[in-house]
Amino acid sequence: MSDTPAPTAFSALSPEETEKLQTAFKDIATRSQKLLQDFSERYKADGPQPADPLQLTQTFMDFTAKMLADPNRLVQAQMELWQQYMNLWQVTAQRMMGQPAAPVAEPAKGDKRFNDPAWKDEVVFDYLKQSYLLTARWLQGTVKEVEGVDDKTAKKVDFYTRQFIDAMSPSNFAMTNPQVVKATVESKGENLLKGLQNMLTDLERGKGKLAIRQTDMDAFKVGGNVATSPGKVVYQNELIQLIQYAPSTAEVYQVPLLIVPPWINKFYILDLKPENSFIKWATEQGYTVFVISWVNPDERLAGFVFEDYMKKGPLAALDAIEKATGQRKVSAIGYCIGGTLMATTLAYMAARDDNRIAACTFFTAQVDFTEPGELGVFIDEDQLAGIEQMMSKKGYLEGAEMATTFNMLRANDLIWSFVVNNYLMGKDPFPFDLLYWNADATRMPAALHSYYLRNMYQKNLLSQPGGLVVDSVPIDLRKITIPVYLQAGKEDHIAPAKSVYKATQIFKGPVRFMLAGSGHIAGVVNPPRNKKYQHWLNETATNPPTLAEWQAGAKEFPGSWWHDWDKWLSALSGPKVPARVPGEGGLPAIEDAPGSYVKVRSGE
């Protein structure tokens, strides 16, 4: 026998490539050992984590029992799947013999996982793709057809089944993704090595949990190249900083504008960069813009509740704006949860004969949660108890936990595409300001978050007259009689348009409802200069009971809705007055915008 060693996968590497490979393996080994040590220490300190934090085991056991109760239907479903597999094999055999054949299953429109031509041109990858699509659709269809399951359980099972299906896509595995196979061959495996280093970096950043980077987190700086509109912080308390933005016009409307963003995200989604900044655009239209910047809370604010956020948030801001400008009347915008808070605040003010808010705009905000969309799957008693147990350890919910929930609603776009790019292709994520903002998560005080989830999502008390009592005041949204502009996103997966529309039947003043193209973010942040998407308006005097009826009589308009909103609000904002300079009114400047609260990052 020859003593010559058998060739290895690394035989073709040059000395420089071999040294680079050895250095990479040494780095991986050192970092992996450190991560294991950190995990062991945390395990000893915190104890073992629950095996089923989402309380899904019993749900699926109960569901499976219902499914097995009708074995005939299950056998029939399996036979149908087998028949589809046989059809697929016949089609594949035809293609292997060079004959044309129509596909048995094709990806849904907009499914980017299978964009590479090899998924269609190469018979093996085409078979993998179609086999996966057949199985995925069969599994979801079978789950939906099980009888005797209540609606909430059915939606929960369907949602988590889809998470499993998305995770099992052949595009997510190195050996079954043609792009990854090609990259591995061309780079001699360097992509997988770099991908492993990327994964270790994300594990280190997440302190043992996989914190997938969606963008280059070093490419942006709050106040540097995002959140750059000029202004001053003119008021602050333990919950908010109030920013007054510099005017862009010589004259401004008499009535200032207060923007109340959600506290689960940072406000600068409305001020990412000058060309798509809603805040900058609003100042250019002649509004004196004030924005609440919520604090990123820690354990010291664990006991703060919804009432605190109302009184120390928009109500405190109204007092400060009057001092800063001398103007009592204010118009307001509430975005997402900030809109839910604003609706509560308006009802509270109406009950106390406080008429300082002249008009209010709601960006994709819910006040009736009977149809909350897929977020509703997280709001059963078992999962709420799990969230509350998690929050009890620190007094708040980590921002990353909420970010993961939102990412799961669009797992292929916001999770698995980055797994493929970062870990399998070995690429660094592309710098993208929107995804930087998305990753800049905020914490939520335990008492506030529990109150919100239970009273809004689970019990839907806000929509019921007197269902909530805030600061000894029964809250009745039907007492809101001021003019309202209600925006919803047609493809919103967080605050579905059907749910947002319900407010038209609750508020008793004039409501102008507008349906924007796209979703929760792009449906709002759509500057006119981009000429993207579209919006719909229905000019009938009274909003019909349902969104479907409203849409039947609506007219489509191209591009942004911002000018329609401006036309509506400008008519309610009084005459023009000399522009107000932040810090030169009744409140001195504390610091430059965007302030210090927004710069506090979770985990720091």
> Of the given ranges (78-82, 84-88, 233-237), which has the lowest mean pLDDT?
78-82
Q: Are 422 and 381 in contact (CB under 8 A)?
A: no
CATH number at 273 reads 3.40.50.1820
Structural domain includes residue 7: no
Would you state the pLDDT for residue 202? 84
pLDDT average, residue stretch 314-333: 97
Contacts of 121 (CB under 8 A, 6+ apart): none
- Given 182, 217, 251, the domain boundary residue is 182
Determine, yes or no, domain membership for 493. Answer: yes
Closest C-alpha among 116, 144, 114 to residue 129: 114
CA distance 463 to 370: 9
What is the pLDDT averaged over residues 414-439? 90
pLDDT of residue 5: 46
Chain segment 5-46, per-residue pLDDT in tens: 444 444 456 777 667 666 766 676 676 666 666 655 655 555
Give catalytic residues, as residue numbers.
336
Domain boundary among 182, 214, 244: 182
Domain contains 363:
yes
pLDDT in tens, 97-133: 888 889 999 999 889 999 999 999 999 999 999 999 9
Q: State residue 13's pLDDT score.
A: 60
Both 64 and 125 in one domain: the answer is yes
Neighbours of 50 (CB within 10 A): 11
Residues 573 and 289: beta-carbon distance below 8 Å: no
Work out the burial of residue 88: count CB atoms within 10 Å of its CB; fewer than 13 is exposed, 13-18 middle, 19 or more buried: buried
% of residues, the chain, pLDDT over 90: 60
Is 430 part of a structural domain of the chain? no
Give residue 575's identity as a one-letter amino acid code.
Answer: P
The tens digit of pLDDT for each residue in 260-270 reads: 999 989 999 99
Asked if residue 157 and residue 286 are part of one domain, the reply reads: no
* pTM metric for this prediction: 0.86
Model pLDDT, residue 33: 64
Residue 48 has pLDDT above 60, yes or no: no
How large is the average pLDDT for residues 206-229? 89
Kindly state whether residues 265 and 352 are assigned to the same domain. Answer: yes
- In a domain, residue 411? The reply is no
Same domain membership, residue 284 and residue 164: no
Residues 338 and 473 in one domain: yes
As a whole number, the mean pLDDT across the chain is: 88
Residue length of the chain: 604
Q: What local confidence, expressed as pLDDT, does residue 1 receive?
A: 42
Looking at the structure, do residues 456 and 565 belong to the same domain, yes or no?
yes
Q: Where are the beta strands (DSSP E) in 377-483?
A: 396-397, 444-445, 468-470, 473-475
| Of the listed ranges 192-201, 310-319, 451-460, the one predicted with least confidence | 192-201
User: So what's the pLDDT on residue 160?
Assistant: 84
Range of the domain at 359: 231-373+441-599
Higher-scoring residue by pLDDT: 8, 569: 569
SS3 for 47?
coil
Residue of 541 and 328 predicted with greater confidence = 328
Domain count, the chain: 2
Amino acid identity at 141: G
Positive/negative CA dihedral, 553, 554, 555, 556: negative
How many H-runs (helices) and E-runs (strands) does the chain carry? 21, 17
510 & 590 share domain: yes
Q: Quick one: average pLDDT of 313-317?
A: 98
Mean pLDDT to the nearest integer, 509-525: 95
CA pair distance 441, 360, nearest whole angstrom: 27
Q: Which residue has the higher pLDDT, 19 or 551?
A: 551
Q: Is residue 339 part of a domain?
A: yes
Mean local confidence (pLDDT), 492-514: 96
Q: What pLDDT is recorded for position 29?
A: 66
Residues 150, 275, single domain; the answer is no
Instruction: Judge if 242 and 102 occupy the same domain.
Output: no
- Identify the residue whose tokens are 């209540």: 150
What's the pLDDT band for 51 if we cut at 50, 70, 90? Answer: very low
Torsion over CA of 187, 189, 192 and 193, rounded to 10 degrees?
-100
Residues 238 and 163 in one domain: no
Residue 198 domain-assigned?
Answer: no
Q: In the structure, what pLDDT confidence band is assigned to residue 294 with cuts at 50, 70 and 90?
A: very high
Residue with tokens 């992509």: 191
pLDDT exceeds cutoff 90 at 382: no
For 251, list phi and psi in degrees, rounded to 5. Answer: -125, 155
- SS3 assignment for 405-425: HHHHCCHHHHHHHHHHHHHHC
Q: Is residue 282 part of a domain?
A: yes
155-176 average pLDDT score: 88
Q: Kindly state whether residues 267 and 141 are assigned to the same domain.
A: no
Q: Tell whether 61 and 152 lie within a shared domain.
A: yes
Helix (H) or strand (E) holding 437: helix 433-439
Q: Are 263 and 339 in contact (CB under 8 A)?
A: no
